[in-house]
């Protein structure tokens, strides 16, 4: 099986290389989608194997280079799904040959982050994932530049610091050693900074919003969709448990303020895609909040919310981007009535919207219920803030739907989803609804990770 793990991680990078050599944009997109779908299926098979037989290891010279547990394979599958969907339903204007290749390569680097056994691979995958997104346009350049500065740099400093203090950079070793308290506090602060910047928690959200606003939604989804940033908290949190526990109140307050701020700013938006972007940011901040909390049940809910939000928020952004591609900027001052011309797109937007904000029979509903249950008694104010943000986002989602899709039939044409876009988005919606009906699969898969994270904190 060790060979399989190398193939899994390498397949994305190889796919990116192959796609970049293809002659036309259409063939590049087709190959990209096929490659991505097959690799995602292979990842799901690996997930089943890991579930039955335990973690998969990729060894070289008797040493584990990569390791994949159920948790990391779940997140890798999520990355695969998000990448496939972004490629298949992303704006044709955006998905050029170059971008298709980059998206595959970014997925490969995300796999490296999820499967890393040492901090060097972790940081290398992290940084490469940012750098590979880059292209010539202004918004992407800004995004990559800021990300390298606010996310990659702090992580590299943290890794170097750990290396200097501890000597070993293996993640497994790190948990069993005791670093000096003053050092861990600073390292944890750097990791939290890197993590928050990577998933676009304020004040680091602006470049990500601009990326979406410029029409580069597929790249924005690839950058944030799998919530790679949150993985730093998940992997390094237990290793830096003492500092993590000390910093927890600050991190919780930061995450809640960020979620509330983005929810409020979303209300102030006058264009539908921007509103969606802020809504997505606010929901993502809730994952950060749950992961940073000290309650095992809330952490468990946070991990589930992570899985639930990836596909749902990608669907939200893609439907909003589809409207932008067809109609240009759509203001929210009046009703646009697009449902009569694009009924399927409207239906899908409603499903994705509801799945994003935790309306019933979706995995997000389950996750948010668990987080609220976990937080309310030990941290009533945090829980009150949490449920308030979810309510604000739900109302805003409905407002967005009402303004964009309901109203008098417009004179300007707006084609409905068709072809590849239709198949992809309908399949994504079905997947989301099925996940909501059988949430225990996701919860069981996340159980050990939540316990591990909490146990490490409790020990300290």
Partner 1 sequence: MPEQIDGLALAIAIFAPALATLTTATLMVAGRAREENVVAISRLAFLASFAATVAIATVVVRDGARELTTGVWFEAGHHAFHVRFLLDPLSAMMSVLTAGACSLIGHFSVTYLHGERGHARFYLLLDLFTVGMLLIVTAGSIDLLFVGWEIVGITSALLIGFFHERPTPVRNGLRAFATYRCCDVALLVGIIMLHHYAHETGMHVEPGRWAAGLPAVTGTGATVVGLALMLGAMGKSAQAPVGGWLPRAMEGPTPSSAIFYGALSIHAGVYLLIRAQPVFERSPVASGALIAVGAVTAITATLTGRVQSDVKTTLAYATMTQVGLMFIELGLHLPTVAALHLLGNAVLRCWQLLRAPAILHELHEVHGALEHELETGRLLDRIERKLPGRIGAWLYLRALDRFYFESLAERFLVRPFFALARALARLDEGVDTEQTAVAVPPQAATDGGDR
Q: Rule CB under 8 A: is residue 415 a binding residue for partner 1?
A: yes
Residue 406 makes contact with partner 1 by CB under 8 A: yes
Interface with partner 1 (CB under 8 A), residue from 106, 159, 265, 312? 265
Beta bridge pairs of residue 271: 331
Tell whether residue 418 is a contact of partner 1 (CB under 8 A). Answer: yes
| Span interacting with partner 1, options 8-16, 44-52, 190-198, 369-377, rule CB under 8 A | 369-377
Nearest of 395, 176, 202 to residue 289 by alpha carbon = 202
54, 145, 180, 402: which one contacts partner 1 (CB under 8 A)?
402
Contact 291, 299 (CB under 8 A): yes
Cis peptide before 241 (omega within 30 of 0): no
The three-point CA angle 268-325-100 to 5° equals 110
Span from 30-38, 96-104, 153-161, 368-376 in contact with partner 1 (CB under 8 A): 368-376
CB of 97 to partner 1, least distance (A): 16
The interface with partner 1 within residues 268-287 (CB under 8 A) comprises: 268-271, 274
User: Which stretch in 36-44, 58-66, 171-179, 382-390 sits in contact with partner 1 by CB under 8 A?
Assistant: 382-390
What is the C-alpha to C-alpha distance for residues 370 and 389, in angstroms, rounded to an integer?
Answer: 15
The one among 45, 120, 398, 427 contacting partner 1 by CB under 8 A: 398
Helices (H), 343-418: 343-357, 363-376, 380-405
CB of 26 to partner 1, least distance (A): 13
Taking only Cα atoms into account, the Rg of the chain, rounded to an integer number of angstroms, comes to 21
State which of positions 330-359 bind partner 1 (CB under 8 A).
331, 334-335, 337, 339-340, 343-344, 347, 354, 359
Piece of the chain touching partner 1 by CB under 8 A; list 122-130, 184-192, 217-225, 362-370:
362-370
Minimal distance, residue 303 CB to partner 1, in Å:
10
- The answer to whether the CB of 130 falls within 8 A of the CB of 152 is yes
Of the pair 41, 412, the CB lying nearest partner 1 is at 412
By the rule CB under 8 A, 30 interacts with partner 1: no
Phi-psi label, residue 24: left if phi above 0, alpha if psi -120 to 50, beta otherwise: beta
* 3-state SS class at 33: helix
Sign of the alpha-carbon dihedral angle for 238, 240, 241, 243: negative
Binding to partner 1 in span 193-252, by CB under 8 A: 206, 210, 213-215
Q: How far is the CB of 195 from partner 1 (least distance, A)?
A: 21
Q: Which is nearer to partner 1, 89 or 162 (CB)?
A: 89
Spatial separation of the C-alpha atoms in residues 65 and 72, rounded to whole Å: 15
Specify the residue, 181 or 408, whose C-beta has the smaller distance to partner 1.
408
Residues 93-152 that bind partner 1 (CB under 8 A): 93
Taking the least distance from each CB to partner 1, the nearer of 61 and 419 is 419
Q: What SS3 string covers 243-260?
A: HHHHHHHHHHHHHHHHHH
How far, in Å, CA of 153 to CA of 123, rounded? 9
Do the beta carbons of residue 346 and residue 338 sit within 8 Å? Answer: yes
| Alpha-carbon distances, residue 320 vs 276, 277, 382, 401 (angstroms) | 7, 9, 31, 10
Q: What minimum distance in Å lies between the beta carbon of 265 and partner 1? A: 5
Tokens of 130: 């940012």
**Residue 5 or residue 322: which is nearer to partner 1 going by CB?**
322
CB of 350 to partner 1, least distance (A): 8
Indicate which single residue of 188, 196, 234, 383 sits in contact with partner 1 (rule: CB under 8 A): 383
Q: Tell which positions 430-459 bind partner 1, by CB under 8 A.
A: 439-440, 443, 447, 450
Distance CA 132, CA 17 (A): 12
Residue 423 interacts with partner 1 (CB under 8 A)? no
Contact between 132 and 143 under an 8 Å Cβ cutoff? The reply is no
Applying CB under 8 A, what is the total number of residues that bind partner 1? 82
Among 165, 181, 377, 458, binds partner 1 (CB under 8 A): 377
Q: Which of residues 293-312 bind partner 1 (CB under 8 A)?
A: 296-297, 300-301, 304
Residues linked to residue 64 through DSSP beta bridges, in sequence order:
59
């Amino acid at each position: 099986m060790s060979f399989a793990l190398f193939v899994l991680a390498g397949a994305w990078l190889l796919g990116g290389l192959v796609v970049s050599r293809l002659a036309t944009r259409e063939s590049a997109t087709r190959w990209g989608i096929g490659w991505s779908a097959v690799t995602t299926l292979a990842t799901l098979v690996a997930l089943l194997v890991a579930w039955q037989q335990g973690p998969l290891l990729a060894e070289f010279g008797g040493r584990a280079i990569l390791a994949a547990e159920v948790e990391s394979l779940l997140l890798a599958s999520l990355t695969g799904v998000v990448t496939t969907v972004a490629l298949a339903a992303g704006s044709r204007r955006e998905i050029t040959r170059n971008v298709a290749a980059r998206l595959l390569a970014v997925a490969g680097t995300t796999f490296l982050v999820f499967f890393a056994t040492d901090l060097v691979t972790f940081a290398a995958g992290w940084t490469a994932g940012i750098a590979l997104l880059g292209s010539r346009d202004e918004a992407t350049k800004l995004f990559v530049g800021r990300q390298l500065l606010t996310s990659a740099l702090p992580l590299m400093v943290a890794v170097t610091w750990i290396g200097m203090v501890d000597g070993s950079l293996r993640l497994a070793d790190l948990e069993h050693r005791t670093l000096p308290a003053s050092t861990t506090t600073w390292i944890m602060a750097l990791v939290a900074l890197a993590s928050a910047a990577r998933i676009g928690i304020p004040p680091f959200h602006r470049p990500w919003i601009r990326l979406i606003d410029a029409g580069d939604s597929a790249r924005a989804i690839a950058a944030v969709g799998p919530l790679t940033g949150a993985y730093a908290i998940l992997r390094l949190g237990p290793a830096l448990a003492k500092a993590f526990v000390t910093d927890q109140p600050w991190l919780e307050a930061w995450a809640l303020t960020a979620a509330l701020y983005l929810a409020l700013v979303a209300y102030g938006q006058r264009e539908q895609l921007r509103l969606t972007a802020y809504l997505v940011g606010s929901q993502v901040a809730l994952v950060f909040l749950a992961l940073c909390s000290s309650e095992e049940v809330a952490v468990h809910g946070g991990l589930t919310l992570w899985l639930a939000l990836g596909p749902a928020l990608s669907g939200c952004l893609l439907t909003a981007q589809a409207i932008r591609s067809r109609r240009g900027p759509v203001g929210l001052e009046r009703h646009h009535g697009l449902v009569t011309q694009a009924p399927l797109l409207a239906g899908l937007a409603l499903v994705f919207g509801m799945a994003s904000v935790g309306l019933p029979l979706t995995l997000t509903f389950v996750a948010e219920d668990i987080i609220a249950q976990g937080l309310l008694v030990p941290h009533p104010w945090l829980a009150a803030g949490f449920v308030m943000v979810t309510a604000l986002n739900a109302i805003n989602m409905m407002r967005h739907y009402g303004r964009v899709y309901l109203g008098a039939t417009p004179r300007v044409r707006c084609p409905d989803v068709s072809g590849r876009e239709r198949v992809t988005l309908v399949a994504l919606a079905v997947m989301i609804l099925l996940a909501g009906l059988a949430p225990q699969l996701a919860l069981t898969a996340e159980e050990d990770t939540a316990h591990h994270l909490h146990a490490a904190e409790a020990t300290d």
